[in-house]
Amino acid sequence: MSSPIRLLHLDSSARPGTSETSRHGSHTRRLSARFVRRWLEHAPDAQVVYRDIGAEPPSPVDGPWVHAAFTPPAQREPWMHDRLAQSDGLIDELLAADVIVAGVPMYNFGMPAQFKAYIDNIVRVGRTFGFDRSRTGEPYWPLLAGMNKRLVILSSRGDFGYCPGQRIAHMNHVEGGVATAFGYIGISDVASVAIEYDEFADDRLRASIASAENEVDALVARMAGAAVEAA
């Protein structure tokens, strides 16, 4: 009998609450909550781990962190293990997950600083990617490749036209930035949905929200349905 699917639910918006319950609530929290809720409707036995990066961001990487991370584990001093403890916990959550559901709003054309701090803590030599100077060819390799993990990026932006081929696609560094970092450690199965027109606050925003929610529902139906069949 196969194990239940494990979801890692991440929110990184600085806004508390969701836009469906609060005028100033978060669109990405709205979409990520909907994704998890719909998944549980398809697979009630799924396990969910939630981390609110927006409210409680990881500590940013600093000099001592880098020193500790690049010191071989057997040679680390006690303070090094302490400095890496938070990173270890975040990586353990990631390793345990089958599906990573990440609410990542666009802040000034990129991901929030909170989510960048998360990425800097999980992209770590020896734990999520390997490095060997003497290795023939590419000295880096992903350690999570082949684990069949899937990433879902749920975003929002104030303007519109950020999708590939649209008017300001070149200014969108959210989905590409997040997918590149996760792909580097071996998670390359990526899907994304986004809400636009937030700053316009008119019928176009309402239509974009409705469209994104429909996309989320369809995405969950495909992903959860396939997971249930595979089980």
pLDDT tens for 100-139 read 999 999 999 999 999 999 999 999 999 999 998 888 888 9
Name the β-bridge partners of 154: 103, 193
Residue 92 lies inside a defined structural domain of this protein: yes
Segment 196-210 shows an average pLDDT of 96
104 in Cβ contact with 35 (< 8 Å): no
107 is known to lie in a ligand binding site: yes
Residue 79 lies inside a defined structural domain of this protein: yes
* CATH number of the domain bearing residue 90: 3.40.50.360
Q: Is the pLDDT of residue 176 over 60?
A: yes
106 in Cβ contact with 158 (< 8 Å): yes
Chain centre distance of CA 68: 25
Distance CA 162, CA 140 (A): 31
Quote the pLDDT of residue 226. Answer: 75
What is the DSSP code (8-state) at residue 124?
-
Chain centre distance of CA 223: 16
Q: Is the pLDDT of residue 63 over 80?
A: yes
pLDDT bracket for residue 50 (50, 70, 90): very high
Residue 144 lies inside a defined structural domain of this protein: yes
Quote the pLDDT of residue 169. Answer: 97
Quote the pLDDT of residue 230. Answer: 62
Distance CA 118, CA 185 (A): 14
109 is known to lie in a ligand binding site: yes
What percentage of the chain reaches a pLDDT higher than 90?
90
Quote the pLDDT of residue 117. Answer: 98
Q: Is the pLDDT of residue 231 over 60?
A: no
Quote the pLDDT of residue 137. Answer: 82
Segment 39-50 shows an average pLDDT of 96
Residue 1 lies inside a defined structural domain of this protein: no
13 in Cβ contact with 112 (< 8 Å): yes
Strand 129-131 and strand 150-156: pairing? unpaired
Quote the pLDDT of residue 228. Answer: 61
Q: Is the pLDDT of residue 172 over 90?
A: yes
DSSP structure string for 143-181: SSTTS--EEEEEEE-SSS--STTSTTGGG--SHHHHHHH
The range of the structural domain enclosing residue 35 comes to: 6-230
Segment 217-221 shows an average pLDDT of 97
Q: Which residue bears the tokens 């409707």?
A: 41
pLDDT bracket for residue 2 (50, 70, 90): confident
Strand 6-11 and strand 129-131: pairing? unpaired
Distance CA 186, CA 208 (A): 31
Residue 124 lies inside a defined structural domain of this protein: yes
Domain count of the fold of the chain? 1
Residue 156 lies inside a defined structural domain of this protein: yes
Cα angle: 36, vertex 223, 31; to 5 degrees: 35
Quote the pLDDT of residue 23. Answer: 85
Residue 168 lies inside a defined structural domain of this protein: yes
Residue 56 lies inside a defined structural domain of this protein: yes
DSSP structure string for 184-230: HTT--EEEEEEE--TTT-SHHHHHHHHHHHHHHHHHHHHHHHHHHHH
Distance CA 214, CA 208 (A): 10
208 is known to lie in a ligand binding site: no
Of 143, 178, 172, 147, residue with least CA distance to 159: 172
With residue 32 as reference, give the H or E element that holds it.
Answer: helix 27-42
